[in-house]
Chain A
Amino acid sequence: MHVFGSSELLEDVHQKDLCIGCGGCVNLCPYFKNHRGKTTMLFPCTLAEGRCNAYCPKVEVNLDELSLSLWNKPYDGSPLGVYKEILAARSGKKMAGGAYQAGGTVSALITFALKTKRIDVAVLTDRKELVPVPKLVTQPEDVVKCAGSKFMASPTLAALNQGVKEGYGRIGVVGTPCQVMSATQMRCNPLNTEDFHDPVELMVGLFCTWAVDTRGLIPLLSECVDSACIMGMDMPPPPSEIMIINTGESNVEIPLDRIRPLIPKACSICPDMTSEWADVSVGVVEGKSDWNTLIVRTDKGADLVNAARKAGYLVTDKMPEENLQHLCVAAAGKKKRALSAAKEKGLLNTQQEGQRAALRIREDVVEKILAEDVEEVCRT
């Protein structure tokens, strides 16, 4: 992994409008701040190498290195990444209920992990008015306060960095794929720090096709509904072409045509739909709004899921084959679109002197992905 400094980060990410505002560079030092969804640099920093650059998911991310480090094998570009099993899941009877986005699987797993002291603190995403804000949660009962998806790019990882600064060594993180990718780079000790300790104990990834720019969405929402009444929002899976704003009394629908222009450019080069680097990944299930898709990837993830199920925090079921097929096609489609967009913009495996890539993937894997027929791949 090539690590540069903050000036390269500004040049390669900020100036190219590729910052997703994940918060990976925030709270590491006094220079990067995120305010209302936008990450900015307060003062120049002169270091040639730094964590801001190393952790950023939009510059010099080497998927082979991540894969070797996590899975002990090269990155092969399979649509859903490495996994053990895919289940349907929802929160169990031990959970008191809450404003879950879907089945509440995420809230259930985090609550359980905190309760059983598998983690000491969880990095979650709350909102202040309409602005998503990162939050460190230590009390199991506070987890549900952060339930529900804020479909905006959020600086969630600022709380991870804060937690590390505060000395937490067993942190649970809930994040979108870009956030998971950033945190995974951090876990790989990119600056070869001596006596490095991986502070992340549990990584819960969310599915994500794209997010919406916070500063763009808020005025649009305020235009359509009284923003003080907004209880939650939903983005039903395709072919539905709407975003639903839940105001408690009624649901207001906003056509996606109005939302799409607010998708950050950074999402167009994101190759991951299912948070491939997490212990478990959670998304919705087509047609079953109170269930989740749960991808179990690691032993640690499997152990957590089993224990949570046994303890009554989680209920699981088999995932219908048809749903798996759809999920795979969606994930493979996103990967293919992202790589071709990155390639076109010169951001994939960039070779020129003095220029950096956003993504590095073995050329044969790139070729395979770009050539594949997504339906075909997902049939096997």
Chain B
Amino acid sequence: MSYLADDRKNETYLLMGNEAIARGALEAGVSVAAGYPGTPSSEIIETLAEASNQRKLYVEWSVNEKVAMEVAAAASFAGLRSLCVMKQNGVNVGSDFLLHLAGSGTRGGLVLVHCDDPGALSSANEGESRHFARLVEIPLLEPGDFQEAKDMIKWAFALSEEIKSLVMVRSVTRLSHASGNVTFGQLPENDSKAYFRHGGTFLDPLEGPLISLPVAYKHGQQQEKLRQAVDRFEDSSFNIYSGPEFPELLIVTSSACHLYSKEAINLLGVEDRVGLLKLGTTWPLPPKLMRKQMGRSDKILVVEEVIPFLEENVKILVAELAPEIGIKTFFGKKEGTLPKVGELNPDLVLDAVSKILQIDYEPAPQAYIKRAGELAAVAAPGRDLIFCPGCPHRASFWSIHNILQMDGRDGFVCGDIGCYSLAMLPTGFGTLKTLHAMGSGTGLASGFGKLGRFGMDQPVLAVCGDSTFFHAVLPALVNAVHHKSNITLVVLDNSGTAMTGFQSHPGLPVDAAGKEAPSIDISGVCESIGATVKVCDPFKLEDTQSTLLNLLEKETGVKVLILRQICALSPEKKSKKMYDMKIDETTCLGENCGCNRLCTRIFKCPGLIWGKEEKVAKIDDVICTGCGVCASICPSGAIIKKEVA
């Protein structure tokens, strides 16, 4: 039972931003929530899935973000409030539907929460999705703190229902994953009934079919909805100004950046010189409010993360208002006062403000910075990005790497999105040579596999995880089969969406709420579309390698090798050792010719350590998961595995 789903009105709790968002949806009476896991967004659906055991609520991990949007939209079409959740690039996946959904309009309140990842802390990109609001013409909100995260979601549902349009709410890592105090509101009784009305005319938004046609008419309506939204934005309490009436410098900001800005103003003690306009409704900008604030300062600094979205929108508005408010000097990402890439922080804002106001400010004494740097270099242990001890991916990539070397035709592997993306790095023996969007590994491979007629004879491989397989690999695989592309897809099936925390996916027999669900068999799917399919346990290195070599050399067309072994961190496996491992120090060859520390220099499972003094390898019993793989790589049989009784 989660207190998040209890009726505890007016009580205050320390909540993670994502929990606050989930609570907001519950307080809004959400009936359906759908999403695809992706850091930093995953806890929202997880929290709601847990709540679904207590409340009338349907929650799913959809196969991908586009389907998640569709599932949520269906609920809205049937008159229910629904929520759709994803990380930044998930919106790209769903964007085609998004465009048409903006045109067709919605019925029950429909809110899309996307969590952006400035600085790409857990992403392969620093993309952001705010511009989709402008692109498809729907309103965009950005909460500035944890309380707002909850309250704004509630408000977004009301707005969506009022204007009959999807509303986007953007969070960022530092909001989604940080925690702050949130005071709860009332939880409504959910007695909503689902019914899809479609008997009216095409032009009837409440009773007619939901489509984006006739385009000109619907597009006009959409713009009218935006106008209505702007009206609400003008006096929204999520847009807050603080500071002097005529500030020397006006900071315009949103989201977590408003906290950085506040701190910077405070540390510099310039509360009487700098004004802070924190916007919660960032698209479309409310012109009256903006005119009032912009008219009172000549210098404007826009503080935001990733692309200068707010900055550009403010500039356009200020240009339009120029006859009334005069010409302004802008600071921000465009002219370079703030960095154009990566996350912001209070220091960066502080630096910008002190430069603009020509204040001499040293963030920290030079000597301190120098000493801290030195200490970090010597005292902090090196922490490479590596696979966990006992990770099946290490074994899989060991085999893939080795057979590609043995094959000797300069074959390569197209990578995909998951923990296994790390195989770009030494921990995966640098095996991956491309890395793009979900499913792109197989799509690229499908293309590479057709270049034989242009003389390309390098073996082409792709990898994907089990969750990614369903998300976006399937269409690419079908494409490869249909076009007789000569490729080998290795499915790294670790039975879960491991990277984001073991969410369910269609290959598993459980759903988001932990209830039984039909699982879809990857090997059966691949076979039925005409691929040659083999299944191996990646911990059996020899078997895996000979199977893969055979596929590579003998078969043409699409070959699929499923490497099935549960993730080392999965709840079923954790703390259960299959083998007790030990090293026979008398046979360990160590640095000598014949081994040269293969286990600790190349294989590098963190469970193996190099005894510098004794010059032999050792097992770190605490870290070793007892997978036994290292015993099969040791050239001298010095690593010994004993089955745990």
Which A residues form the contact surface with B (CB < 8 A)?
Answer: 28-31, 33, 35-36, 38, 40-43, 45-47, 49-51, 191
Bound-complex Cα distance A31 to B402 (A): 10
Main secondary structure of the interface of B (DSSP, over half): helix
Q: Is the CB of B593 within 8 A of A28?
A: yes
Evaluate contact between B406 and A35: CB separation under 8 angstroms.
yes
Min Cβ gap A18→B in Å is 15
CB of B405 within 8 Å of the partner chain: yes
Across-interface contacts of A191 in B (CB, < 8 A): 593
Contact bitstring B406-429, A, C-beta under 8 A = 1, else 0: 111000000000000000000001
When distances are taken between beta carbons in the complex, the residues of chain B under 8 Å from A49 are: 593
* A92 to B36 alpha-carbon distance, docked (Å): 77
Please name 5 pairs of A and B residues whose Cβ atoms are closer than 8 Å in the assembled complex, sorted by A: A29-B635, A30-B635, A31-B596, A40-B406, A50-B593
Interface size class of B (residues with CB under 8 A): 10 to 19
| B535 CB within 8 Å of chain A | no
Bound form: Cα–Cα A28–B598 in Å:
13
* A41 neighbours in B (Cβ, 8 Å): 405
Contacts A29-B635, A43-B429, A43-B602; is A35 near B407 (CB within 8 Å)? yes
Per-residue 0/1 for B111-139: is the Cβ within 8 Å of any A Cβ (1 yes, 0 no)? 00000000000000000000000000000
Task: Given A30-B598, A30-B633, check contact A42 B593 (CB 8 Å).
Answer: no
B402, B593, B596, B598, most chain A CB atoms within 10 A = B593
A33 engages B405 (CB within 8 Å):
yes
Inter-chain contact B594/A29, CB cutoff 8 Å: yes
Does B566 make an interface contact (CB < 8 A)?
Answer: no
Neighbouring B residues of A29 by C-beta, 8 Å: 593-596, 598, 635
Q: Which residue of B lies closest to A53 (CB)?
A: B593
A314 to B202, CA, bound (A): 100
Q: A344 to B553, alpha carbons, bound, how many Å?
A: 38
User: Do B596 and A42 touch (CB < 8 A)?
Assistant: no
Q: Which residues of B lie under 8 Å from residue A50 when comparing CB positions?
A: 593
Given contacts A40-B406, A43-B602, 16 further A-B contacts (CB under 8 A): A28-B593, A29-B593, A30-B595, A30-B635, A31-B598, A33-B405, A33-B406, A35-B406, A36-B553, A40-B408, A41-B405, A42-B406, A43-B429, A46-B601, A49-B593, A51-B594
5 shortest interchain CB distances as A-B pairs: A35-B406, A50-B593, A38-B408, A30-B635, A42-B405
Cβ of A47 and Cβ of B593 under 8 Å apart?
yes
Q: Which residues in window 571-621 of B have CB below 8 A to A? A: 591, 593-596, 598, 601-602
Q: Whole-angstrom distance between the alpha carbons of A222 and B516 in the complex?
A: 53
Shortest Cβ distance from residue B601 to the other chain A in the assembled complex, whole angstroms: 8
From residue A16, how far is it (CB to closest CB) to chain B in Å? Answer: 16
Q: How far is the CB of B405 from chain A (nearest CB, A)?
A: 5
Cβ-defined partner of B596 (8 Å) among A33, A38, A47 = A47
Q: How far is the CB of A51 from chain B (nearest CB, A)?
A: 5
Residue-wise, chain B 429-446 has the 8 Å CB interface mask toward A (1 for contact) of 100000000000000000
How far apart are B629's CB and chain A's nearest CB, in angstroms?
14
- Taking the closest CB of chain A, its distance from the CB of B51, in whole angstroms, is 50
A35 touches B594 (CB 8 A): no
Question: Which residues of chain B from 161 to 202 have any CB-CB distance to chain A below 8 Å in the complex?
Answer: none
Is B549 among interface residues, defined by CB-CB distance under 8 A?
yes
Give complex CA distance A101, B611 in Å.
53
Taken together as a complex, chains A and B put the C-alpha atoms of A33 and B429 apart, in Å, by 17
Q: Give the CA-CA distance A43 to B593 in the complex, in Å.
A: 14
Name the B residues within 8 Å of A46 (CB-CB).
596, 601
Chain B residues closer than 8 Å to A47, beta-carbon distance: 591, 593, 596
A35 & B596 in contact (Cβ 8 Å cutoff): no
Give the complex CA separation of A31 and B598 in angstroms.
9
Q: Which residues of A contact B596 (CB under 8 A)?
A: 29, 31, 45-47
CB neighbours of A38 from chain B (8 A): 408
Query: Within the complex, what minimum Cβ distance (angstroms) separates B342 from chain A?
Result: 33
Check B23 for interface membership: any CB of A closer than 8 A.
Answer: no
Of chain B, the residue at the smallest CB distance from A54 is: B593
Q: Could you tell me the distance between the alpha carbons of A35 and B552 in the complex, rounded to whole angstroms?
A: 13
Write out the residue numbers on chain B whose beta carbons fall within 8 Å of the beta carbon of A35: 406-408, 549
Chain A residues near B407: list those with CB within 8 A: 35
With A29-B594, A29-B596, A191-B593 in contact, is A40–B405 under 8 Å at CB?
yes
Judge whether B401 is part of the interface by a CB distance below 8 angstroms.
Answer: yes
Minimum C-beta distance from B308 to chain A (A): 45
Which of B408, B549, B598, B635 is the most central at the interface, judged by chain A CB atoms within 10 Å of its CB? B408
By beta carbon, the residue of chain A nearest B402 is A42
Cβ of A45: which chain B residues have Cβ within 8 Å of it?
596
- Least CB distance, A38 to chain B, in whole angstroms: 5
CA distance A30 to B549 in the complex (A): 18
Tell me the residues in window 239-261 of chain B with beta carbons closer than 8 Å to chain A beta carbons: none
Highest count of chain B CB atoms <10 Å: which of A33, A36, A41, A43: A43
Q: Closest Cβ of chain B: how far from A176's Cβ, in Å? A: 21
A42 to B633, CA, bound (A): 12
Q: How far is it, in angstroms, between the C-alpha of A49 and the C-alpha of B594 when the chains are bound?
A: 11
Kindly list chain B residues whose C-beta atoms are within 8 Å of the C-beta of A31: 596, 598
**A residues near B429, Cβ cutoff 8 Å:** 43
CB-nearest residue of chain A to B401: A42
Complex-state Cα separation, A5 to B635, whole angstroms: 18
A42 surroundings in chain B (CB, below 8 A): 401-402, 405-406
Closest Cβ–Cβ distance, residue B398 to chain A (whole Å): 9
CB proximity of B63 to chain A, nearest CB, Å: 38
A30 to B401, CA, bound (A): 13
CA distance A49 to B429 in the complex (A): 24
Minimal beta-carbon separation of B188 from chain A (angstroms) = 62
- In the complex, the chain B residue whose C-beta lies closest to that of A39 is B408
B429 nearest in chain A by CB position: A43
Residues in A whose Cβ lies below 8 Å from that of B601: 46
Chain A residue with the shortest CB-CB distance to B635: A30
- Cα A28 to Cα B589 with chains together (Å): 12
Tell me, rounded to whole Å, the shortest Cβ–Cβ distance linking A1 to chain B. Answer: 15
Scoring A28, A29, A50, A191 by chain B CB atoms within 10 A of each residue's CB, the highest score goes to A29
A38, A40, A42 interface centre (most CB from chain B within 10 Å): A42
Across-interface contacts of A30 in B (CB, < 8 A): 595, 598, 633, 635
Q: Is A28 in contact with B406, judged by CB distance below 8 angstroms?
A: no
Q: Which A residues touch B635, using CB under 8 A? A: 29-30
For B406, the chain A residues whose CB sits under 8 A away are 33, 35, 40, 42
Output the residue of A28, A35, A36, A38 with the most chain B CB within 10 A.
Answer: A35
Question: Which residues in B have their C-beta under 8 angstroms from that of A33?
Answer: 402, 405-406
Smallest CB separation, A217 vs chain B (Å): 16
| Closest chain B CB from A234 CB (angstroms) | 27
Most interface-central of B406, B429, B549, B591 (chain A CB within 10 A):
B406
* CA of A191 to CA of B402, assembled, Å: 28
A38 to B553, CA, bound (A): 14
How far, in whole Å, are A51 and B592 apart by their CA atoms in the complex? 11
Q: How many angstroms between the C-alpha atoms of A43 and B595 in the bound complex?
A: 11
Give the chain A neighbours of B553 by CB distance below 8 A: 36
Cα of A38 to Cα of B594 in the assembled complex, Å: 20
Cα-based distance from A31 to B635 in the complex (angstroms) = 10
Q: Which residues of B contact A36 (CB under 8 A)?
A: 553
Shortest CB-to-CB span from B541 to chain A, Å, is 11
Nearest residue (CB) in A for B637 is: A165
| Chain B residues positioned under 8 Å from A40 (CB to CB) | 405-406, 408
Would A51 and B402 be within 8 Å (CB), given that A30-B598, A38-B408, A43-B602 are in contact?
no
B216 to chain A, nearest CB (A): 63
Chain A residue contacts of B633, Cβ below 8 A: 30
Q: How far is the CA of A28 from the CA of B408 in the complex (A)?
A: 20
The docked-state distance in angstroms from the alpha carbon of A38 to that of B406 is 8
